[in-house]
Amino acid sequence: MTLKYNEQAPPVPGGSAGITTREESHRTASTATSDSGKQSLPALEVQDVHASFRERRNKLSVLNGLSLTVEQGEFVAIVGPSGCGKSTLFHIIGGLLKPQTGLVLMNGQNVTGQRGKISYMPQQPALFPWRTIEDNVLLAGEVSAHTPPKAEALAEARKWLSSVGLGGFEQAYPHMLSGGMQQRVAFLRALLSPQELMLLDEPFSALDALTRSDMQRWLLDIWEQNRRSVLFITHNIEEALLLADRIYVLSNRPATVLHEVRVPFDRPRREEITEEKAFLERKRQISEWMKEEQKKARLTP
């Protein structure tokens, strides 16, 4: 049985509705079916990736046969204990590191170890302080192999800056903006990159609670307009459930996929769903898994 990403999976014996096993995840997520009935290749497939580092004379295993997919136009979140290897996974997907074994495929093509295939938004805005806001947004196109004409890129950047409440700040510099405004600029830079797949690495973790909530609503609105394929790392379970179509729950290091949670809530998402029973039940279940992993970590020598 093949499930589209916006459908709720059947209950797993001994589990909860909307949760699938690792084997079912690998089997059902390998292809997606479009409205025309044709199969489309996933935007991203990570297949059985193992990664380790040398620490003095010892080998530190970080990823242990990790597999996941992101379908075309899908928003997928990853949650897991601190230090479990989420950032290492992003480095492998982005081509900065090569795994010991395993593959990274994008649109069916093997891109393992290749750079320049993704757009990336880090935890901090990482804006160049000597460039204006407009020029920071244009940077993604400038470093791309397929640079659009400057006039076209400039018009697109100004349109987006205006649409996200940054009109009038085009010639400002990063230090003149608040943290939330800087994150909007960083997101627009990633959004306007020509690469289809976006990797977002805890982009709101440094923001205060109110600004973070505003940014979540803003991101939902922008993503609904654009529907880029997104892989999103977060430690915030509520944030993952609010934003994502599916959530991968990772184990302690060496990380593997413990559970896949299919989020059944309709889009466009309303902030009020965070108070609904089904939302709270999934949040509680994921929280229990995370606590169990943290307990295991404390008992591991």
With beta carbons less than 8 A apart as the criterion, state whether 67 and 49 touch. Answer: yes
pLDDT recorded at residue 87: 87
Higher pLDDT, 84 or 296: 84
Highest mean pLDDT among 6-10, 136-140, 153-157, 173-177 belongs to: 173-177
Task: Calculate the dihedral angle through the C-alpha atoms of 95, 99, 103, 109, rounding to the nearest 10 degrees.
Answer: 20
Instruction: Looking at the structure, give the CATH architecture of the domain made up of residues 1-111+229-301.
Output: 3-Layer(aba) Sandwich (3.40)
DSSP-based three-state secondary structure for 221: helix
Largest CA distance in the chain: 59
pLDDT recorded at residue 158: 86
Two tokens, residue 255: 């990380």
Among residues 107, 108, 105, the alpha carbon closest in space to that of 95 is found at 105
With beta carbons less than 8 A apart as the criterion, state whether 121 and 187 touch. Answer: yes
| Dist. CA 159–CA 167, nearest whole Å | 8
pTM above 0.85, yes or no: no
Task: Calculate the dihedral angle through the C-alpha atoms of 205, 288, 265, 226, rounding to the nearest 10 degrees.
Answer: 30
- In terms of DSSP bridges, do strands 246-250 and 229-233 run parallel, antiparallel, or are they unpaired? unpaired
| Dist. CA 25–CA 8, nearest whole Å | 13
Burial of 131 (0-12, 13-18, 19+ CB in 10 A): middle
Report whether pLDDT(4) > 60.
no
Report, as an integer, the average pLDDT of 277-295. 91
DSSP-based three-state secondary structure for 173: coil
- Within 80-209, strands assigned E span 101-106, 109-110, 119-121, 197-201
Q: What is the pLDDT of residues 64-85, one digit of tens each?
A: 999 999 999 999 999 988 888 8
Among residues 84, 85, 111, the alpha carbon closest in space to that of 98 is found at 111
Highest mean pLDDT among 11-15, 82-86, 115-119, 292-296 belongs to: 115-119
Report whether pLDDT(213) > 50.
yes
Q: What is the pLDDT of residues 173-182, one digit of tens each?
A: 999 998 888 9
Q: What is the pLDDT of residues 247-260, one digit of tens each?
A: 999 998 889 999 99
pLDDT category at 144 given cuts 50, 70, 90 is: low
Please give the share of the chain, as a percent, with pLDDT higher than 90.
42
Query: In this structure, how many other beta carbons lie within 10 angstroms of the beta carbon of residue 210?
Result: 9
Among residues 15, 16, 21, 18, the alpha carbon closest in space to that of 7 is found at 18
pLDDT recorded at residue 257: 94
Two tokens, residue 227: 């529907």
Report, as an integer, the average pLDDT of 200-210. 84
Among residues 70, 48, 53, 150, the alpha carbon closest in space to that of 117 is found at 70
The DSSP call for residue 30 is S
pLDDT recorded at residue 11: 37
Least confident of 17-31, 98-112, 147-161: 17-31
What's the whole-number average pLDDT of the chain? 81
Query: In this structure, how many other beta carbons lie within 10 angstroms of the beta carbon of residue 275?
Result: 8
Report whether pLDDT(246) > 90.
yes
Report, as an integer, the average pLDDT of 25-47. 61
pLDDT recorded at residue 31: 44
pLDDT recorded at residue 133: 92
pLDDT recorded at residue 148: 62
pLDDT recorded at residue 26: 43
